[in-house]
Amino acid sequence: MNNVLEIIDLEKHFEDFKAVNGLSFNVKEGEFFSILGPSGCGKTTLLRMIAGFVEQSSGDLKIRNKDMKGIAANKRPVNLVFQNLALFPMMNVEENIAFGLQRQNLEKKEIEKKVEDILEKVHLKGYGKKEVSQLSGGQKQRVAIARSLVLEPSILLLDEPLGALDLKLRESMKIELKKLQKEFGTTFIYITHDQSEALVMSDRVAVMNNGRFEQIDTPKNLYANPKTSFVAGFVGEANIFTATYKNDLQICLNQDKEDFVINVNFIEKVSDKCKLYIRPEAIILSPSKDIKDLNRFNLIVKTILFDGSNTKLLTQIENTSYELLVSLPQNKQFAHIKVSDVLEAGVDYIDCKTYAS
């Protein structure tokens, strides 16, 4: 699969501040590529450089092997969907979608055919004459995407397009966006601070922090095998502890001067101090006596956190002050757990992720 976007040592400086700091990566043809990171990490600046609204300070940015340096935004084979969608309120749906086509000086019949086809593909057939004000949030979202896709860009850039939607609509639009991207086969570059959006929709995700990419990986590998402490803490929930290296296979939790030894699968020793990350779903309740390589301990249930589809337990490791958030398996065996219960538990060595502090 060919690269549609190639970026080498890209930087953007604002006086002494490096908003984007030495990025190098490729995006493949037809890929859904997400850039995930907290506010202020540089992801919007990066997207605006790709779009041509911001000129890079240094480095190379190529689209389909063509250097984009000095190429104006309206001459680049990309389109950008903003968070506020930027639909024209004085135009109806078909006029909004036709706007870019008209600027290409296409014949009226060709424009009408393209608009009709794109409306059907985004499941808005028959909505062409509707005013923007008559549309729901999800329908406006699809009109904005249709307006960009009808121009057949090499890359569609999406700047947190679901941020203004309510929770339920955001959940349905995640699935809708993924389906649309697969149907059109257009390369999507999507920026978000919402890890759920990135993990659900993307073929690959780049986690950005302080102008750099900490890790680029598939959603599954990103979640299961975070390469840095930042990725482990930012992607997914985690129980986080400060610890000290004890030996090549063990660490010692040292909060409140209590010694609690955890066995780990592998430690890349950098210094004596480290951080331990354990996912709530990695903790096994009532583990079989036959399972090897398991840290075993008892947990006291302090609080039950119920949100409908999932239940978590806030627990305390017996005889310590350490708290653990535990995902409760959704089966009848654990349906009658209550506060103050003492549960046998364990966590596999390999699920105890350690990073230099």
Q: Which pLDDT does position 342 carry in this prediction?
A: 96
Strands 155-159 and 187-192 come out as parallel
DSSP 328: P
As a whole number, mean pLDDT of residues 189-218 equals: 94
Q: Between 154 and 105, name the one with better pLDDT.
A: 154
Under a CB-based contact definition with an 8 Å cutoff, are residues 82 and 156 in contact?
no
If asked whether residues 132 and 61 sit together in one domain, one would say: yes
Task: Select from 226, 248, 277 the last residue of a domain.
Answer: 226
Q: Which pLDDT does position 294 carry in this prediction?
A: 93
pLDDT band of 82, cuts 50, 70, 90: confident
Instruction: Check whether 334 has a pLDDT greater than 80.
Output: no
Share of residues in the chain with pLDDT > 70 (%): 97
If asked whether residues 218 and 314 sit together in one domain, one would say: no
**Residues ≥6 apart with Cβ < 8 Å to 295:** 262, 263, 346, 347, 348, 349, 352
> Mean pLDDT for the chain?
90
As a whole number, mean pLDDT of residues 252-263 equals: 79
Instruction: Check whether 163 has a pLDDT greater than 90.
Output: no
If asked whether residues 176 and 313 sit together in one domain, one would say: no
Residue showing tokens 């006029």: 95
Q: Which pLDDT does position 208 carry in this prediction?
A: 97
118-151 tens-digit pLDDT: 898 888 888 999 998 898 888 888 888 888 888 8
Instruction: Check whether 254 has a pLDDT greater than 80.
Output: no
Share of residues in the chain with pLDDT > 90 (%): 56
If asked whether residues 215 and 323 sit together in one domain, one would say: no
Q: Between 164 and 16, name the one with better pLDDT.
A: 16
pLDDT band of 167, cuts 50, 70, 90: confident
The answer as to whether 264 is a domain residue is yes
The answer as to whether 232 is a domain residue is no
**CATH code at position 261:** 2.40.50.140
Please give the Cα distance from 99 to 101 (Å, whole number). 6
Instruction: Check whether 333 has a pLDDT greater than 80.
Output: no
Please give the Cα distance from 16 to 45 (Å, whole number). 16
**CATH code at position 43:** 3.40.50.300
If asked whether residues 247 and 177 sit together in one domain, one would say: no
The answer as to whether 252 is a domain residue is yes
As a whole number, mean pLDDT of residues 39-63 equals: 94
Q: How many domains does the chain have?
A: 2
Task: Select from 167, 197, 226 the last residue of a domain.
Answer: 226
The answer as to whether 231 is a domain residue is no
Q: Between 179 and 59, name the one with better pLDDT.
A: 59
As a whole number, mean pLDDT of residues 235-252 equals: 89
Among the listed ranges 111-120, 195-204, 294-303, 304-313, which one has the minimum average pLDDT value?
Answer: 304-313
If asked whether residues 179 and 254 sit together in one domain, one would say: no
If asked whether residues 219 and 255 sit together in one domain, one would say: no
Q: Which pLDDT does position 173 carry in this prediction?
A: 82
Under a CB-based contact definition with an 8 Å cutoff, are residues 263 and 352 in contact?
yes
If asked whether residues 20 and 120 sit together in one domain, one would say: yes
Instruction: Check whether 268 has a pLDDT greater than 80.
Output: no
DSSP 218-265: -HHHHHHS-SSHHHHHHSS--EEEEEEEEETTEEEE-GGG--EEEE-S
If asked whether residues 11 and 49 sit together in one domain, one would say: yes
210-234 tens-digit pLDDT: 999 999 999 999 999 999 999 999 9
If asked whether residues 157 and 11 sit together in one domain, one would say: yes
Q: Which pLDDT does position 247 carry in this prediction?
A: 81
Q: Which pLDDT does position 22 carry in this prediction?
A: 94
The top-scoring range by mean pLDDT among 137-151, 153-167, 178-192 is 178-192
The answer as to whether 244 is a domain residue is yes
**235 φ/ψ angles, rounded to the nearest 5 degrees:** -100, 110
If asked whether residues 207 and 297 sit together in one domain, one would say: no
The answer as to whether 253 is a domain residue is yes
Task: Select from 226, 247, 277 the last residue of a domain.
Answer: 226
Instruction: Check whether 270 has a pLDDT greater than 90.
Output: no
Instruction: Check whether 309 has a pLDDT greater than 80.
Output: no
For residue 348, give its domain range: 237-356
The answer as to whether 105 is a domain residue is yes
Instruction: Check whether 164 has a pLDDT greater than 70.
Output: no
- Where in the chain does DSSP place strands (E)? 3-14, 17-28, 32-36, 58-63, 66-67, 78-81, 155-159, 187-192, 204-209, 212-217, 239-247, 250-253, 260-263, 273-278, 283-285, 294-306, 311-317, 323-327, 342-348, 353-356
If asked whether residues 252 and 132 sit together in one domain, one would say: no
The answer as to whether 163 is a domain residue is yes
Q: Which pLDDT does position 255 carry in this prediction?
A: 63
CA-wise closest residue to 262 among 221, 313, 322? 322
